[in-house]
């Protein structure tokens, strides 16, 4: 028997020895590992977004910037620790948790700290009365009692959440199940159920596991009480809700300087918002930022810009410059470390890596120039005389014909990107879809005749760079150049029958004018010269390839390379037949944007290249190099076209328009356009002859003044029921140029 | 013999070591409970005094009379377990019953009552030398075992099993028989664990968490979030202790152990280990070894078989609790709710432990004369 007892004892000692060895391994051999694990548990690192770079104009005026607003935040854990004790020896104030919020009795006071950091013992502490929140409430402009009411409501919500968390942890019921259960109970009984009441359904499971429950509760408290809640919208005691999007400076100061902790639990929280000070002006060019729409988009962003670049709060450039220069503009995220304080709350914060601000984008254009262009455009694009859907529509675009630097742009209608952004971006998405479908349809149909115009184009799409319409007679610049360079003769003294003629084809109509050669065609805008030359039986075969080639040469039906996201390509048929050639020669059955037409004018001005338009002058301090697409033009042909376009202004379809004292010494060279708006949706369908309008009115050209920078421009007024390009569109340019060359 | 006589003749090493362990326990509980609204350490001290008084009570009658009363005691304990099982409504009946202002855990007392019952049935029997003789003690163990499993209190139920084997082994049962029964038991238990309804979800999760932590390195980190969170936090606390314990420079023990769930009760050892380090742990294990040795040496001195079995039973009870509790907190055994004797906070557990000490003292103080019948082989 003794031997058996001895064996039993040996067995137990062996087991204890095994435990001893295991503890040795834990405490001595792998000690470092556990120290690291504990540190990891006690501190958390999280990423904070860096501010986005600014977009500023040539004068340094901001077009887009991150603006910090300060809002009110509420930290439940701090609110729970509102009881304050002052040390009688050193005067330091200590905070202690109120048992009321920790499941203790409501009337039990908090106990003072055991010892002050100055060494004074517990009995030296004096309990400070709870100071009222009235000064802060006054500064915030909210009714008295609002803050403590809202805080108590929030504390109750968090308390409910804690109880549910405890049940889910200890009993293993999923949180979603608990919430469903709660809703079910509320539906059944017709009254609200608190988290504690729902938790009590699992009372038997929780009972007998008090320690586990208490620990789970502490854990949940530490996590949920430490998390700040935005106090943007909350209940007031008298009923109703209050919205505090940002707080007044007075309240901010009170909170920042609150050394005595009167407002413990309430703190300021900086929120960064993208702000567009010029509002609607340049909204399309500057673009907008939006949150990620889905997980896939976020992943794609991280794949492009690196892991950790996409945070839930990241706003990504969606359109315009914001989209085009995302790489430069985006802020680089930084890292913050949060550590649990003595109460287990994540309140101690240190910056591990400071977030970096994104680079600035500086534009060539000036906001004030755009403002003048916009006003000039508005005075022409009036509601009276507009025959399309929605508000009157038009666009203006001006660039340096040499470098492609965008000097001014304006369009109407526009939108304020500071408000209703979600609505706008939704429209962008919808319209982009429509346009993409249209382009796909165009590609697939090999098409020949039709334009597929946008159904009721929204305000979100740029009239300058996205929406292409028929350029009408403005296209004759390309037509005449192409014919002069084709190598075959063109009529030098052409007798046009004027508004009507007896023989077929009757169309297109023309104006009343005398004999015309190529110059006269551009000055008087003779339709029949162009149409007859284009469809001439002798050269038709050549023209079916020549016309698309020249359209391509002038950058039509292709993106210009403008530095915005969402530029349109326009349309140009690839294999036109004879009838279509007649249409194309006068800018019908095709579509071009003002940007594309201004490039055409630029090539005429410089004679050698198509400049790639750039809005940005510098990105992050580095200049954006000009890009030029060579386009060799025959000097003789070019001279004749310039003469014709100059004639347009001096004696042709735009005569008198530029006879202004401000434009003395300025040479304006241009071409008018009055295009039949064929889009079935752009205009109301009517039984009328489509050539009876409405019309898109254009003026395209350039202006030079010795000693000044030349300007190439294009302006379009959409769907006008009356007037012609010379009378309506050219004055917009005249008004702009008057200001431009004077300033 | 009076209480005074028994107190004089009792083996005092046992209670002295028990009180030392209780003192260590109280200080550790004070550390573990820091910040809790309830003063657990003081409550434990009060329970220790209640326990000491109860031990005196057990010293009053001769232990043979206690052994003789085993059917009454066994029936009382079992019926309390039944009461607990049917007292409540809902998904489980809980494991507590209210007695006046107190709540007690009948399964704790049942451990000791089972020791008495087994000691009584084994004392003059030689049947257990044959396999057939296992039946009676096995029935005695199985009834409370199943009742406690149903509570559910797997931890306490598990203790009954080694108790059974230790006593039969001490009583001279054949090793092959014991091994055979153990094997059959394991097969049956594993089978039952997969029968729906036998184990609660959290019990099954804990078992699987333990297996995963030991077999799959990848699972270890994933499980941090789930059921083995407790074990992981416990291991972290132990690991933080180093050679001599967490110093105040490192944020102190409270800081190091705050995240260990149930650190006052089943997971008190990580708190001790964090506070006193490897040297402290070595001291504690030696203390337990000395205590268990003192108990067992009492059994060695006693010739009367029921007294001997009583002490061996108490020894087995303590030894198994110590080994299982420490084994689970250091990650060598799955986490089941087994208290660490004298250290874990809990009135019922401490009271039972002191009652057991009282029994050992009673037996040690009063070795009755063996009346001619040969009890147990000294082989
Ligand atoms: Zn004509």
Task: Tell me whether residues A172 and B205 touch, CB distance under 8 A.
Answer: yes
Q: In this structure, is residue A682 part of a structural domain?
A: yes
To the nearest 5 percent, what fractions of chain B are helix, strand and coil? 70, 0, 30
Q: In this structure, is residue A94 part of a structural domain?
A: no
**Would you state the pLDDT for residue A171?**
75
Q: For residues A350 and A259, state if they share a domain.
A: no
pLDDT tens track for B72-130? 889 988 888 887 776 643 333 345 555 444 456 777 788 888 888 888 888 766 666 66
| Domain end call among A304, A333, A363 | A363
Q: In this structure, is residue A494 part of a structural domain?
A: yes
Q: For residues A139 and A244, state if they share a domain.
A: yes
Q: In this structure, is residue A389 part of a structural domain?
A: yes
Q: For residue A630, list its beta bridge partners.
A: A609
Interchain CB contact of B34 with A (< 8 Å)? no
For residue B96, give the nearest of A30, A34, A207 by CB distance. Answer: A207
**Would you state the pLDDT for residue A441?**
54
Classify strands A266-275 and A125-128 as parallel, antiparallel or unpaired: unpaired
Calpha distance A554→A545 (Å, rounded): 14
Q: For residues A491 and A536, state if they share a domain.
A: yes
Q: For residues A498 and A593, state if they share a domain.
A: yes
Distance from the A200 Cα atom to the nearest Cα atom in chain B, whole angstroms: 12
Interchain CB contact of B37 with A (< 8 Å)? yes
Phi, psi of A721 (to 5 degrees): -90, -10
Beta-carbon contacts of residue B188 (< 8 Å; ≥ 6 apart): none
Lowest mean pLDDT among A341-350, A384-393, A522-531: A341-350
More confident residue, A144 or A480: A480
Residue A208, pLDDT > 70, answer no
Mean pLDDT of the A376-389 span: 89
Lowest mean pLDDT among A94-103, A125-134, B157-166: A94-103
- Do the beta carbons of residue A364 and residue A406 sit within 8 Å? yes
Q: For residue A316, list its beta bridge partners.
A: A290
Q: For residues A358 and A429, state if they share a domain.
A: no
Classify strands A62-74 and A43-48 as parallel, antiparallel or unpaired: unpaired
The alpha carbon of A647 and the centre of ligand 1 are apart by a number of angstroms equal to 15
**Would you state the pLDDT for residue B180?**
80
Mean pLDDT of the B8-35 span: 86
The alpha carbon of A616 and the centre of ligand 1 are apart by a number of angstroms equal to 42
Task: Tell me whether residues B278 and A27 touch, CB distance under 8 A.
Answer: yes
- Domain tally, chain A: 3
**Would you state the pLDDT for residue A432?**
64
The alpha carbon of A470 and the centre of ligand 1 are apart by a number of angstroms equal to 19
Share of chain A above pLDDT 90, in %: 35
Q: For residues A355 and A371, state if they share a domain.
A: no
pLDDT band per the 50, 70, 90 thresholds, residue B204: low
Residue B228, pLDDT > 70, answer no
Tallying the residues shown for chain A, one arrives at 743
CATH code, A484: 3.40.710.10
**Would you state the pLDDT for residue A31?**
85
Mean pLDDT of the A45-54 span: 84
Q: Which residues of B touch A37 (CB under 8 A)?
A: 236, 239
**Would you state the pLDDT for residue B200?**
59
Mean pLDDT of the B168-176 span: 77
Interchain CB contact of B275 with A (< 8 Å)? no
Q: In this structure, is residue A30 part of a structural domain?
A: no
| Domain end call among A237, A253, A274 | A274
Share of chain B above pLDDT 70, in %: 71
Mean pLDDT of the A25-31 span: 87
Residue B208, pLDDT > 70, answer no
**Closest by CA position to A55, among listed A317, A298, A408:** A317
Torsion angle defined by CA atoms of residues A113, A118, A123 and A128, in that order, rounded to the nearest 10 degrees: -70
Beta-carbon contacts of residue A147 (< 8 Å; ≥ 6 apart): A133, A136, A137, A140, A266
Q: In this structure, is residue A2 part of a structural domain?
A: no
- Do the beta carbons of residue A725 and residue A394 sit within 8 Å? no
A24, with CB counted inside 10 A (0-12, 13-18, 19+), is middle
Q: In this structure, is residue A640 part of a structural domain?
A: yes
More confident residue, B285 or A129: B285
Q: For residues A170 and A77, state if they share a domain.
A: yes
Task: Tell me whether residues A27 and B94 touch, CB distance under 8 A.
Answer: no
Classify strands A361-363 and A55-56 as parallel, antiparallel or unpaired: parallel
Q: Which of residues 106-165 of B touch A (CB under 8 A)?
A: none
**Would you state the pLDDT for residue A677?**
79
Lowest mean pLDDT among A85-99, A314-328, A615-629, B210-224: B210-224
Share of chain B above pLDDT 90, in %: 12
Give the chain A residue nearest B283 (alpha carbons): A20
- Do the beta carbons of residue A568 and residue A466 sit within 8 Å? yes
| A47-79: burial string, b at 16+ Cβ within 10 Å, e else | bbbbbbbbbbbbeeebbbbbeeebbbbbbbbbb
Q: Which residues of B touch A5 (CB under 8 A)?
A: 170, 296, 299-300, 312
Residue A726, pLDDT > 80, answer yes
For residue A19, give the nearest of B172, B202, B332 by CB distance. Answer: B332
Residue B219, pLDDT > 50, answer no
Supply the pTM of this predicted model. Answer: 0.62
Beta-carbon contacts of residue A68 (< 8 Å; ≥ 6 apart): A270, A271, A272, A273
Q: Where are the domains of chain B?
A: 9-365
**Would you state the pLDDT for residue A502?**
56
Task: Tell me whether residues B277 and A27 touch, CB distance under 8 A.
Answer: yes
Q: For residues A539 and A672, state if they share a domain.
A: yes
Q: H-helix or E-strand containing B378?
A: none
Q: For residues A385 and A514, state if they share a domain.
A: yes
Interchain CB contact of B312 with A (< 8 Å)? yes
**Would you state the pLDDT for residue A547?**
93
**Would you state the pLDDT for residue A682?**
46
Phi, psi of A511 (to 5 degrees): -90, 175
**Would you state the pLDDT for residue A198?**
85
Interchain CB contact of B75 with A (< 8 Å)? no
Mapping DSSP onto H, E and C, the string for B48-65 reads HHHHHHHHHHHHCCCHHH
Residue A534's domain comprises: 367-449+462-740
Task: Tell me whether residues B285 and A16 touch, CB distance under 8 A.
Answer: yes
- Best mutation target among A2, A21, A27, A168 (most B Cβ atoms within 10 Å) is A27
Q: In this structure, is residue A101 part of a structural domain?
A: no
Residue A383, pLDDT > 80, answer yes
Q: For residues A541 and A625, state if they share a domain.
A: yes
pLDDT band per the 50, 70, 90 thresholds, residue B256: low
Question: What Cα–Cα distance (Å) separates residue A346 from each residue in A81, A341, A491, B33, B252?
Answer: 14, 6, 85, 21, 18
pLDDT tens track for B323-338? 988 998 888 887 777 8
Instruction: Give the three-class secondary structure for B179.
Output: helix
Calpha distance B199→B193 (Å, rounded): 6
Q: For residues A584 and A706, state if they share a domain.
A: yes
Q: For residues A558 and A539, state if they share a domain.
A: yes
């Amino acid at each position: 028997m003794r031997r058996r007892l001895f064996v039993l004892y040996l067995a137990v000692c062996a087991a204890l020895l095994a435990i001893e060895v295991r503890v040795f391994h834990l405490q001595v051999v792998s000690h470092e590992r556990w120290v690291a694990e504990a540190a990891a548990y006690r501190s958390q690192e999280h990423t904070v977004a860096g501010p986005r770079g600014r977009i500023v104009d040539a004068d340094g005026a901001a077009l887009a910037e991150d603006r910090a607003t300060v809002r009110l935040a509420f930290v439940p854990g701090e609110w729970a620790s509102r009881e304050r004790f002052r040390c009688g020896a050193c005067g330091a104030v200590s905070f202690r948790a109120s048992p009321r919020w920790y499941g203790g009795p409501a009337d039990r006071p908090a106990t003072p700290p055991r010892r002050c950091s100055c060494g004074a013992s517990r009995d030296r502490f004096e309990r400070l009365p709870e100071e009222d929140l009235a000064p802060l409430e006054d500064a915030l402009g909210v009714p008295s009692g609002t803050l403590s009411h809202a805080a108590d409501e929030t504390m109750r919500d968090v308390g409910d959440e804690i109880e549910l968390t405890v049940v889910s942890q200890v009993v293993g019921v999923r949180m979603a199940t608990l919430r469903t259960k709660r809703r079910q109970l509320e539906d059944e009984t017709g009254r609200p159920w608190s988290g504690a009441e729902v938790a009590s359904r699992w009372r038997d499971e929780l009972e007998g596991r008090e320690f586990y429950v208490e620990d789970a509760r502490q854990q949940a408290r530490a996590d949920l009480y430490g998390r700040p809640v935005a106090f943007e919208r909350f209940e007031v005691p008298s009923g109703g809700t209050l919205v505090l999007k940002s707080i007044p400076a007075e309240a901010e100061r009170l909170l920042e300087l609150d050394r005595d902790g009167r407002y413990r639990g309430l703190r300021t929280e900086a929120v960064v918002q993208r702000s567009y000070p010029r509002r609607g002006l340049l909204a399309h060019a500057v673009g907008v930022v939006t949150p990620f729409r889905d997980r896939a988009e976020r992943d794609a962003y991280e794949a492009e810009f690196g892991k950790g670049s996409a945070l839930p709060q990241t706003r990504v450039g969606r359109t315009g410059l914001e989209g085009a220069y995302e790489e430069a503009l985006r802020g680089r995220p930084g890292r913050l470390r949060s550590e649990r304080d003595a109460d287990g709350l994540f309140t101690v914060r240190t910056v591990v890596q400071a977030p970096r601000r994104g680079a600035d984008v500086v534009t060539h254009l000036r906001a004030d120039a755009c403002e003048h262009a916009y006003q000039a455009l508005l005075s022409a694009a009036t509601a009276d005389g507009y025959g399309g859907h929605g508000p009157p529509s038009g666009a203006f675009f001006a660039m340096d014909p040499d470098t492609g630097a965008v000097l001014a742009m304006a369009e109407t209608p526009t939108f304020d990107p500071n408000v209703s952004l979600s609505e706008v971006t939704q429209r962008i998405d919808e319209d982009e879809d429509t346009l993409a479908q249209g382009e796909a349809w165009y590609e697939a149909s090999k098409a020949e005749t039709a334009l597929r115009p946008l159904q009721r184009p929204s305000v979100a799409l740029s009239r300058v760079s996205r929406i292409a319409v028929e350029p009408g007679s403005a296209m004759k610049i390309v037509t005449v150049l192409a014919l002069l360079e084709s190598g075959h003769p063109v009529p030098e003294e052409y007798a046009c029958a004027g508004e009507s003629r007896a023989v077929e084809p009757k169309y297109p109509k023309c104006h009343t004018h005398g004999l015309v050669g190529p110059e006269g065609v551009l000055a008087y805008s003779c339709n029949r010269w162009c149409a007859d030359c284009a469809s001439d039986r002798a050269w038709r075969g050549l023209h079916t390839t020549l016309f698309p080639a020249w359209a391509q040469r002038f950058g039509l039906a292709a993106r210009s390379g403008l530095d915005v996201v969402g530029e349109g390509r326009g349309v140009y048929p690839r294999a036109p037949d004879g009838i279509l050639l007649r249409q194309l020669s006068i800018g019908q059955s095709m579509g071009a944007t003002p940007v594309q037409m201004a490039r055409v004018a630029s090539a005429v001005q410089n004679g050698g290249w198509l400049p790639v338009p750039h809005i940005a002058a510098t990105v992050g301090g580095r200049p954006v190099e000009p890009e030029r697409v060579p386009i060799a033009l025959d000097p003789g042909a070019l001279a004749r076209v310039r003469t014709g376009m100059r004639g347009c202004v001096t004696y042709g379809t735009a005569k008198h328009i530029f006879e202004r004292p401000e434009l003395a010494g300025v040479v304006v060279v241009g071409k008018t356009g009055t295009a039949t708006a064929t889009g079935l949706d752009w205009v109301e369908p009517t039984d009328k002859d489509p050539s009876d309008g409405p019309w898109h009115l254009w003026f395209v050209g350039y202006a030079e003044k010795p000693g000044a920078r030349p300007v190439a421009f294009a302006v379009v007024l959409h769907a006008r029921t009356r007037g012609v390009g010379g009378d309506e569109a050219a004055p917009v340019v005249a008004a702009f140029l008057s200001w431009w060359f004077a300033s | 013999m009076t209480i005074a006589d028994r107190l004089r003749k009792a083996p005092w090493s046992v209670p002295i070591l028990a009180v030392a362990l209780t003192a260590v326990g109280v200080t550790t509980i004070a550390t573990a409970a820091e910040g809790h609204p309830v003063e657990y350490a003081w409550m434990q001290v009060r329970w220790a005094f209640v326990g000491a008084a109860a031990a005196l009570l057990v010293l009053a009658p001769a232990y043979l009379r206690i052994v003789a009363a085993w059917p009454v005691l066994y029936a009382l304990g079992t019926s309390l377990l039944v009461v607990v099982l049917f007292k409540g409504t809902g998904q489980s009946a809980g494991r507590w019953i209210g007695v006046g202002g107190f709540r007690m855990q009948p399964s704790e007392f049942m451990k000791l009552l089972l020791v008495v019952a087994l000691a009584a049935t084994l004392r003059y029997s030689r049947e257990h030398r044959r396999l057939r003789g296992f039946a009676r003690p096995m029935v005695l163990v199985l009834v409370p075992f199943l009742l406690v499993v149903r509570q559910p209190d797997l931890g306490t139920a598990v203790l009954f099993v080694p108790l059974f084997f230790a006593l039969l082994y001490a009583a001279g049962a054949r090793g092959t028989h014991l091994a055979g029964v153990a094997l059959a038991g394991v097969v049956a238990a594993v089978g039952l664990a997969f029968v729906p309804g036998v184990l609660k979800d959290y019990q099954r999760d804990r078992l699987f968490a333990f297996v995963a932590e030991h077999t799959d390195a990848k699972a270890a980190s994933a499980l941090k979030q789930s059921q083995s969170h407790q074990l992981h936090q416990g291991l972290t606390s132990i690991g933080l202790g180093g050679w001599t314990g967490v110093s105040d420079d490192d944020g102190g023990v409270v800081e190091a152990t705050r995240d260990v769930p149930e650190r006052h009760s089943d997971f008190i050892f990580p708190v001790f280990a964090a506070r006193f380090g490897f040297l402290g742990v070595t001291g504690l294990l030696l203390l337990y070894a000395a205590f268990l040795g003192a108990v067992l040496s009492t059994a060695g001195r006693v010739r009367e078989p029921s007294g001997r079995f009583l002490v061996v039973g108490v020894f087995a009870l303590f030894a198994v609790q110590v080994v299982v509790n420490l084994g689970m907190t250091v990650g060598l055994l799955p986490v089941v709710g087994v208290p660490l004797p004298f250290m874990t906070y809990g009135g019922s557990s401490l009271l039972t432990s002191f009652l057991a000490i009282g029994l050992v003292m009673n037996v040690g103080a009063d070795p009755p004369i063996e009346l001619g019948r040969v009890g147990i082989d000294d082989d």
